[in-house]
């Protein structure tokens, strides 16, 4: 998932119907009589609740004192802080337009190809839960989305109070299944302050999302240091999950808690090395092994010219090929069926015959597994266990195992704690960055609308003296921004469904 993923609601039919029926049940039934309706609405209002089909909203004033305290902490520092947010908001508004134009070009370029999957990685990507977002990641998704929304609205609230604009309350809502937050500002006060003051308030939300994104990135970078007292890194990739029935499963496969330190002759110090080693092994010739000539028993051809090098049902033997040391017509390739585990144990790897001649006193040759297409033979080192021997397509091995860089120092520590922190921070980076980008777009109903209007009032008042003309300019700019965002979302959804 990218840092600027665009969050788009995806309504699953079962959830949609369930929410609708529950909303009708709990919202419409109590209103069957005037008495019940009045008491029901009073009960909701007393608790700050508003319930309607697909939408639940809660508003409170209990955080107003906290907002007011934050707005008085250090007036000089807050002035510099929100002025920085103002500059960032203006830059982000221009940058978001450039980003949307670039993403639209990339999407159109992919649409012109025969396969929608082809093309480069999009700068912005539509995220649809259940389609290109795994359902197992929904808890991270919704939690990070809610946190990003709260921090966004916290910025608006503190900036408003600093500019002497009253905050009526803070609230949270759930639309279908998607959480969010909002602040209710006193509109009269907001209209009385200058455009520059308004701009500080409107830019505060995207500014705080950007700061949260940077903070989450810093936490990810410092996570090995923060967890150093209880977890260590750099010793290998720790296995946290093995897909049952996969290529890595089995008695001599990998198990939860194993530490992978190598793939063939490629050292593995962490998850990044695991991925890069598998990619390297997928695109390089098969690794060979130095075997004494005396231990080779060549497989002979049948009368019809075919060769049965190892039985297809053999689970312990593998067919190896090598160049015959001396042949009548120059060097000839021969094949031998060999017990693979016994043969590779303690055997030196090689890339050519010269590698074997330089490190062996007895005559030896470099034999390589005789495999077809992109199939590879890979030794997986995970001490103190014996090597896991894998024969197949390398990406299948990668998808069969979940790993982490963090190895617990104590046995009672949970293996998934660092994974939880890493995954949550990555979603915070993605979604907080998404809110910063999307809300910066000069589009109707987003922060970008109010940011653009305040910016035009602050900069064009001496150039375009007629207020109606300024509003007309703002309207057309908002119309263009809305069309640009809508085109990206529509085509992005098409790309997701086409995959």
List active site positions: 153
Q: Could you count the other beta carbons within 10 Å of the beta carbon of residue 330?
A: 8
**H helices of 72-125, where?**
75-111
In angstroms, the CA 373 to CA 29 distance is 65
* Tokens matching residue 78: 């807050």
Would the CA dihedral through 55, 56, 57, 63 be positive or negative?
negative
* Tokens matching residue 356: 């074997």
* Tokens matching residue 197: 């003051």
Output DSSP code: residue 25: I
CA 477 centroid distance within chain: 32
* Tokens matching residue 242: 């093995």
Is the distance from CB of 173 to CB of 55 less than 8 angstroms? Answer: yes
- Sort residue 257 into left (φ over 0), alpha (ψ -120 to 50) or beta: left
Could you tell me which of 140, 11, 3 has the C-alpha nearest to residue 493?
Answer: 11
* Tokens matching residue 420: 């939880």
Q: Which long-range contacts (CB under 8 A, 24 or more apart) does 293-297 make?
A: 293/325, 293/362, 293/363, 293/364, 293/365, 294/362, 294/363, 295/338, 296/322, 296/334, 296/336, 296/338, 296/365, 296/367, 297/336, 297/337
Distances (CA, A) of 485 to 103, 209, 441, 448, 478: 10, 19, 8, 12, 10
């Amino acid at each position: 998932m990218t840092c600027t993923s665009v969050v788009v609601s995806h309504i699953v039919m079962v959830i949609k119907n369930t929410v609708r029926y529950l909303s009708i049940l709990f919202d419409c039934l109590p209103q069957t009589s005037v008495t019940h309706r009045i008491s029901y609405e009073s009960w909701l209002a007393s608790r700050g609740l508003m319930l309607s089909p697909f939408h639940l909203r809660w508003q409170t004033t209990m955080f107003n004192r906290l907002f007011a305290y934050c707005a008085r902490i250090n007036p000089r520092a807050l002035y510099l802080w929100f002025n920085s947010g103002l500059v960032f908001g203006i830059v982000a508004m221009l940058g978001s337009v450039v980003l949307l134009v670039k993403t639209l070009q990339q999407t159109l370029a992919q649409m012109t190809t025969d396969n929608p999957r082809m093309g480069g990685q999009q700068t912005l990507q539509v995220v649809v839960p259940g389609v290109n977002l795994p359902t197992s990641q929904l808890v991270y998704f919704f939690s990070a989305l809610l946190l990003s929304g709260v921090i966004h609205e916290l910025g608006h609230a503190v900036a408003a109070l600093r500019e002497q604009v009253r905050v009526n309350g803070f609230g949270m809502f759930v639309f279908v299944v998607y959480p969010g937050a909002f602040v209710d500002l006193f509109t009269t006060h907001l209209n009385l302050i200058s455009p520059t003051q308004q701009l500080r308030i409107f830019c505060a939300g995207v500014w705080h999302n950007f700061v949260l994104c940077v903070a989450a990135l810093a936490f990810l970078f410092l996570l090995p240091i923060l967890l150093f007292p209880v977890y260590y890194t750099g010793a290998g990739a720790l296995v946290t999950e093995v897909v049952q029935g996969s290529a890595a499963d089995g008695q001599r496969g990998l198990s939860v808690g194993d530490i992978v330190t190598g793939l063939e002759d490629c050292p593995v110090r962490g998850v990044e090395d695991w991925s890069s080693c598998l990619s390297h092994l997928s695109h390089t010739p098969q690794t060979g092994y130095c075997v004494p000539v005396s231990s080779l028993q060549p497989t002979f051809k049948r009368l019809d010219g075919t060769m049965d090098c190892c039985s297809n049902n053999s689970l312990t033997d593998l067919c190896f090929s090598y160049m015959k040391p001396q042949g009548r017509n120059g060097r000839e390739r021969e094949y031998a069926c060999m017990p693979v585990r016994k043969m590779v144990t303690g055997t030196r790897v090689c890339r050519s015959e010269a590698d074997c001649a330089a490190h062996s006193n007895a005559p030896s040759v470099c034999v390589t597994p005789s495999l077809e297409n992109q199939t590879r033979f890979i030794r997986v080192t995970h001490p103190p266990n014996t090597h896991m021997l894998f024969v197949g397509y390398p990406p299948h091995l990668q998808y069969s195992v979940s790993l982490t860089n963090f190895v617990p120092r104590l046995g009672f520590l949970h293996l998934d704690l660092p994974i939880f922190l890493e995954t949550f921070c990555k979603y915070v980076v993605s979604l907080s960055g998404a809110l910063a980008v999307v809300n910066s777009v000069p589009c109707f109903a987003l922060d970008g609308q109010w940011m653009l209007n305040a910016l035009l009032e602050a900069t064009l008042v001496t150039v375009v003296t007629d207020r109606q003309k300024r509003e007309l300019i703002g309207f057309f700019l908002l119309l263009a921004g809305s069309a640009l965002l809508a085109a990206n979302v529509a085509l992005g959804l098409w790309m997701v469904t086409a995959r």
